[in-house]
């Protein structure tokens, strides 16, 4: 059995307790050091980056106030707030130990202790310490990435390989005027990507105009997008500038582009080809100069094969394609984003410093996040608002804990699950090359599109 990594320091004036603890723990943990004199603590803190300290509450003979333990607890936390401290106390001193928890101790144990429970507590503490260290490291990497590479806005976060590729693509395409098509599930941050492209483009001093096409009534599309003249229709009591003209010189972002009917797709295509619009009620064309970025949470190529989306429009929109990975595929980005919003909402709602327990971290990492970053953001905000302590646990997030989405063919005998497993495996094998995947599966590309859409791959 490999011992758990971590540096543990045990401080107690009772030599027999030190010997017993060291003997009991030496096979469980990588490094254990013991010391009887608490006055050595300052030097020991300077010599090594301790993960966990087991600290006795009393050192002077006949003194049982626990004040010595509290004194050294404060010194340890002042020196390094990240070190986790577990207090060692007698059963009669539980009240003072609870006071120690309020002053920053991770936990306390009472003499005589159950060694199995103690070992479990130490494992949990070291797991939390490692998680906190990982978050700090990832945040450091994120800050460097943002400062030296993209300087993206604060809530556009991530250092996973897939998001790093997204950042690199933004940097490459921003300086061009190429049309961009952004694909991604709801809540992944498609508008943020579009905004970042605009911010780093030559059009950054002009307007970034965002339009949710899913919310525009088909009968009002031309008025909203192209504008109208006063009196053009019953409610047209004044001239209206359309979104295309408003965005001229800057960037126009069309979200949920696949929601457009075939009729409206034709009108949009005409504008993109002619680079001019004619407001409703006018016979004068207005020249436009826009950088177009579109986005959708659907598969436009599948819709094209089903003759629900115009091929000529799709290829005009799709000079460059950017695919945003769902949050469940971004690993430790979940912790980076959760920590960011935890600090934001703790400050907003005057909650002080709130942390997430190790089991809470597991719950966040194991949740599938169907609503992606948007869901995580709202989950953290609700947890902070309703928090009854400064430690958030799984139940505070009110999410169902599910295993990570690792496929195991033997875990299901359902035909649909088997089909999904096989299609995903072949797609992964060919790194998303649909032509090669379709050939190996001996199906058409259209059939492959349908299966990808069916299984949400």
| pLDDT tens profile 186-202 | 999 999 999 999 999 99
Residue 143 — very low, low, confident or very high, per pLDDT cuts 50/70/90?
Answer: very low
Give a yes or no: residue 375 inside a domain. Answer: yes
21 and 94 co-located in one domain: yes
How far are the Cα atoms of 28, 56, 382 from residue 21, in angstroms, in the given order?
Answer: 11, 12, 42
Provide the CATH number for the domain around residue 370: 1.10.8.60
Give a yes or no: residue 151 inside a domain. Answer: no
HSE-up (13 A, CA, CB side) for residue 200: 21
* Average pLDDT, integer, range 354-365: 92
81 and 182 co-located in one domain: no
Closest by Cα among 293, 290, 215, 222 to 253: 293
pLDDT given for residue 414 in this prediction: 58
197 and 258 co-located in one domain: yes
Read off the pLDDT of residues 330-347 as tens digits, 9 standing for 90 and up.
Answer: 999 999 999 999 999 999
302 and 367 co-located in one domain: no
How far are the Cα atoms of 164, 334, 397 from residue 342, in angstroms, in the given order?
Answer: 23, 12, 12
Give a yes or no: residue 258 inside a domain. Answer: yes
Read off the pLDDT of residues 82-114 as tens digits, 9 standing for 90 and up.
Answer: 889 998 887 666 777 788 888 888 888 888 888
Residue % of the chain over a pLDDT of 90: 41
| Domain C-terminal end among 261, 288, 323 | 323
281 and 388 co-located in one domain: no
pLDDT given for residue 282 in this prediction: 86
198 and 262 co-located in one domain: yes
pLDDT given for residue 383 in this prediction: 94
The Cα diameter of the chain in Å comes to 98
pLDDT given for residue 24 in this prediction: 86
177 and 293 co-located in one domain: yes
More confident residue, 294 or 205: 294
- Which tokens is 394 given? 């799984």
Read off the pLDDT of residues 38-88 as tens digits, 9 standing for 90 and up.
Answer: 899 988 888 888 889 999 888 876 666 778 888 889 989 888 888 899 988
More confident residue, 413 or 352: 352
309 and 337 co-located in one domain: no
Give a yes or no: residue 149 inside a domain. Answer: no
Give a yes or no: residue 231 inside a domain. Answer: yes
How far are the Cα atoms of 163, 173, 276, 447, 449 from residue 299, in angstroms, in the given order?
Answer: 20, 22, 28, 13, 8
Read off the pLDDT of residues 270-327 as tens digits, 9 standing for 90 and up.
Answer: 999 999 999 998 888 889 999 999 999 999 999 999 999 999 999 999 999 999 999 9
Q: CA-based angle 78:79:81, to the nearest 5? A: 65
Closest by Cα among 227, 201, 336 to 280: 227
Residue 402 — very low, low, confident or very high, per pLDDT cuts 50/70/90?
Answer: very low
Length of the chain: 457
Number of domains the chain is built from: 4
Q: CA-based angle 457:330:422, to the nearest 5? A: 30
| Domain C-terminal end among 87, 110, 128 | 128
Q: Is the pLDDT of residue 413 over 70?
A: no
Q: Is the pLDDT of residue 124 over 50?
A: yes
8 and 91 co-located in one domain: yes
Provide the CATH number for the domain around residue 191: 3.40.50.300
Alpha helix (H) residue ranges in 276-389: 300-305, 311-317, 333-348, 358-366, 372-386
User: DSSP letter at 325?
Assistant: P
314 and 332 co-located in one domain: no
353/288 Cα distance (integer angstroms)? 50
390 and 420 co-located in one domain: no
Rg (CA), the chain: 29
Residue 118 — very low, low, confident or very high, per pLDDT cuts 50/70/90?
Answer: confident
Verdict on whether the full-model pTM lies above 0.85: no
Phi and psi, residue 451, nearest 5°: -70, -35
Q: Is the pLDDT of residue 116 over 80?
A: yes
Give a yes or no: residue 116 inside a domain. Answer: yes
216 and 348 co-located in one domain: no
Give a yes or no: residue 48 inside a domain. Answer: yes
- Name which of 26-35, 182-191, 352-361 the model is least confident about: 26-35
pLDDT given for residue 339 in this prediction: 92
Give residues with Cβ within 8 angstroms of 345, minimum separation 6: 351, 380, 381, 384, 385
Give a yes or no: residue 146 inside a domain. Answer: no
Provide the CATH number for the domain around residue 122: 3.40.50.2300
Range of the domain at 92: 4-128
Round the average pLDDT of the chain to a whole number and report it: 84
């Amino acid at each position: 059995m490999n011992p758990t990594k971590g540096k543990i320091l045990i401080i107690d004036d009772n030599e027999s307790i030190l010997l017993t603890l060291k003997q009991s723990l030496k096979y469980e943990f990588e490094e254990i050091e013991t010391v009887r004199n608490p006055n050595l603590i300052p030097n020991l803190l300077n010599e090594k980056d301790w993960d966990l300290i087991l600290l006795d509450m009393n050192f002077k003979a006949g003194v049982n106030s626990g004040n010595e333990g509290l004194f050294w607890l404060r010194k340890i936390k002042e020196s390094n707030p990240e070190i986790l401290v577990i207090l060692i106390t007698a059963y009669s001193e539980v009240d003072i130990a609870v006071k120690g928890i309020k002053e920053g101790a991770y936990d306390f144990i009472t003499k005589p202790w159950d060694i199995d429970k103690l070992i479990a507590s130490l494992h949990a503490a070291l797991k939390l310490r490692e998680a906190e260290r990982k978050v700090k490291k990832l945040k450091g990497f994120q800050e460097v990435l943002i400062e030296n590479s993209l300087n993206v806005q604060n809530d556009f976060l991530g250092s996973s390989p897939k998001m790093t590729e997204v950042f690199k693509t933004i940097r490459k395409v921003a300086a061009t005027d190429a049309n961009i098509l952004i694909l991604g599930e709801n809540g992944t941050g498609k508008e943020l990507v579009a905004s970042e492209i605009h911010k780093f483009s030559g059009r950054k001093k002009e307007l970034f105009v965002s339009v949710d096409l899913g919310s525009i009534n088909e009968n009002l599309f031309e008025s909203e997008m192209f504008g109208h003249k006063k009196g053009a229709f019953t409610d047209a009591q004044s001239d209206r500038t359309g979104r295309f003209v408003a965005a001229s010189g800057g960037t126009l972002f069309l979200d949920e582009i696949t929601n457009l009917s075939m009729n409206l797709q034709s009108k949009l295509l005409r504008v993109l080809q002619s680079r001019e619009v004619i407001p409703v009620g006018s016979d004068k064309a207005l020249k436009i100069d826009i950088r177009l970025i579109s986005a959708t949470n659907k598969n436009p190529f599948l819709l094209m094969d089903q003759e629900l989306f115009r091929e000529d429009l799709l290829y005009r929109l799709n000079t460059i394609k950017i695919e945003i990975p769902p949050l469940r595929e971004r690993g430790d980005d979940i912790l980076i984003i959760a920590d960011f919003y935890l600090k934001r909402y703790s400050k907003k709602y005057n909650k002080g410093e709130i942390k997430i327990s190790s089991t809470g971290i597991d719950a966040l990492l194991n949740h599938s996040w169907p609503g992606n970053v948007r869901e995580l953001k709202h989950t953290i905000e609700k947890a902070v608002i309703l928090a009854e302590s400064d430690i958030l646990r799984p139940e505070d997030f009110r999410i169902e804990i599910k295993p990570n989405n690792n496929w195991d063919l033997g875990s299901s005998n359902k035909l649909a699950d088997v089909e999904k497993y096989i299609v995903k495996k072949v797609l992964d094998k060919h790194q998303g090359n649909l032509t090669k995947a379709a050939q190996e599966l001996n199906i058409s590309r259209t059939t492959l599109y349908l299966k990808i859409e069916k299984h949400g791959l």
